[in-house]
Amino acid sequence: MNHLSDSELLDSILRLVEENKVMVAGRYLKILEARLGRPVAPIGRNKAIVEKKLEDLRRLCGRVAQLRRSLESSEGWEVQRDSGGIRCLYQGHESGFIRIRLEAEVEAPLFDLIALLREVGLWHTWVPSFAGIGMSGARQLGQTSVINMCFHLVVNLPWPLGRRSCTFAVDGVDCMHTEDAPQQVVVLLDSRHAQLNCPESVDDWSKVHTPADLWDSGVVITPAEVAGTKHTMVQIIAVMDPKMALPRSLVNLVVRNVCFLIMVQLRRAVAVTREKEHLEITTDPSNPFYAFLRRRMAENMPMQLALAPPLAVTPSAATRRVDAIDEKDDLCCGVSWPVCCGSSTAIAAAASTPSAVSTASHGGDAMCARGERYHREGIQSKDVPLSGRASPNCARVISLSWMQLTLVVVLLAGAIQVLPLSAVMQPSVSKVAITEPGAIATLPLREKNK
C-alpha cells in the first residue's frame, strides 16, 4: 500500500467496499488515516456519498472487532456447561439483558453451515419444536444486498409465558480475504438495524407479538484449517432482551440445558443441507447469494469450496444423481429412497438416542441396506446427497427425541415452578438508548413489573 498515493488508496478502499470485502477495506482505511494523521475527508461532488460509505465501513468493522474481542475474552463469563466439545457460558448484566456465548466444533464444511443458517425459510426442517412449543415461524422480510438481510422469528413458549417474536438485521461480513486474520465468516445480528436491511416497514411485524430483541449478537464460523481444530469452529454470542423479569436460577437452567441442546441439534441438523430442499437452492447457478459465496471461496478458500456440493445443471439436478446407483438398491422398504431415507424426519430420528427409537421392521435394524450404503459411501462422494449419513427412517420412529422432551421439561419447569405468575404474564418495559454498537455496558436498568 505504500506505493499508492492517498487518492489511489482511497479508490482501492471504495472498490473493496463495493466487493463486500469490508475487513480488508477497513484495514486499508486505518493505514490511510494513520498516514494522514486525521480522518479521511473526501472532496468532490460525491463527497456525501463517500463519507457515508466510510462511516458505515468504520461502524461495521467496529462491530466485528467487538464481537471478536468478546469471543476471545474470558473476563466476566461464567461457564455453565462444558461437555462433549460444547461450551455454554453466561454473562449477567444489571439491565436485565441476557448474554449467552456458545462454542462448538461442527463436523461440516463452511458452505453447509452457512447454508443451514442462511435459508431461514427452511429452518422448520431442523429447528426443534413439540406440541406447539418452539419455533412457530421464520421468514425473511427483505434485503438490501446479497449479504444484508432482515429476518423475523416467532417462538411459542409454554403457558403462562406469551409468544415472542424477534425481528433482526442479518449482516454477513466477508472475512475470507488472505489479508484478513483470521480468515472467517462473521454474521452480525441486531434488532436495532432491522429496518436498515428491509425496504419495507418492519413495524407491523414487531407489533404482532411481544418482541424479544437481539443486540450486539453474532455468529463466527472458522474453518478447521484456520482454527487449528479437527472440525469447523462455530461460536455464537447472543445478547437478548426477553421483555420479562427472569430469575438467575432460570437463566442458568436455560443456558446449561436448552442452549446446550441447541448446539447439539445444530451439529446434527447440518446434514439437511444435502437434502433436496436445500440442494435445489444451494446448487442453483443463478442464485446470487451462493454464486457470491462460491466466487469468494474460489478466490481465498479453495479447500472449502472443494467440500461444497457441486453446481447443478438445473436446480434439482444434484438430487437426481442418485438415479445412477445400482438398480438393486432402487427400493428400500418398498418405497423409493428419497421417501424412505432422505427426509428431515429421518435425520432427526438418526440423531435420537437408541432409547428414543423403536423399530417395527427390518428385524430391529436402525438403517436399511441402502441407507447403510449411503452412510458408508456418501460422506466421501460429491455425487450423492450426504443425507444418507444418518437416515434411519426405515426404523419407523414412534417416539419423541430426547432433545425435544428435555426442552419441554426445562421450559415448563422454569416457567411454572420458578417464575412468579405476574413476572411472566406481563412483559416488562425496557428503556434503552444505544447509539453506538458494542455499547452494551451502558444499558440502563430495566423497570420492574408492578
- 86 touches 260 (CB < 8 A): yes
Q: Is 247 in contact with 219 (CB distance < 8 Å)?
A: no
According to DSSP, the β-strands at 133-145 and 217-222 are unpaired
Contact 135, 153 (CB under 8 A): yes
Find out whether 349 and 357 touch, Cβ atoms under 8 Å: yes
**Secondary structure percentages of the chain, helix, strand, coil, to 5:** 45, 20, 35
Return the bridge partners of 138, or none: 153
Using alpha carbons only, give the angle 278, 282, 288 rounded to the nearest 5 degrees: 135
Residues of the chain with CATH 3.30.530.20: 74-328+436-450
222, three cell numbers: 472458522
Q: Which of 71, 106, 105 is nearest to 91 (CA)?
A: 71
- Of the candidates 260, 262, 261, 277, the one whose C-alpha atom is nearest the C-alpha of residue 344 is 277
Residue closest to 136 by CA, chosen among 155, 157, 158, 117: 155
Q: How many CB atoms lie within 10 A of CB 302?
A: 9
pLDDT tens track for 5-61: 888 999 999 999 998 899 999 999 999 999 989 888 877 778 889 999 999 999 999
Weakly modelled stretches of the chain, pLDDT under 70 = 1-2, 93-96, 129-132, 158-161, 206-208, 242-254, 314-450
User: CA-to-CA distance for 262 and 269, rounded, in angstroms?
Assistant: 10
Longest dimension (CA), the chain: 78
Residues 6+ apart with CB under 8 A from 19: none
Q: Which grid cell is 403?
A: 432433545
CATH of domain 74-328+436-450: 3.30.530.20
pLDDT of residue 109: 96
Q: In whole angstroms, give the CA distance from residue 314 to residue 64.
A: 37
The pLDDT of residue 244 is: 63
* Pairing state between β 335-336 and 133-145: unpaired
Residue 131: what pLDDT? 63
Q: What is the pLDDT of residue 211?
A: 77
Residues in the chain: 450
Closest CA to 368 of 348, 394, 338: 394
pTM across the whole model: 0.69
Q: Residue 184's closest CA among 238, 139, 229?
A: 229
Classify burial at 288, counting beta carbons within 10 Å of its beta carbon; exposed 0-12, middle 13-18, buried 19 or more.
exposed
Q: Check if the beta carbon of residue 278 is closer than 8 Å to that of residue 272.
A: yes
C-beta of residue 305 within 8 angstroms of C-beta of residue 111? yes
- Give CA–CA dist 307/115, Å, rounded: 13
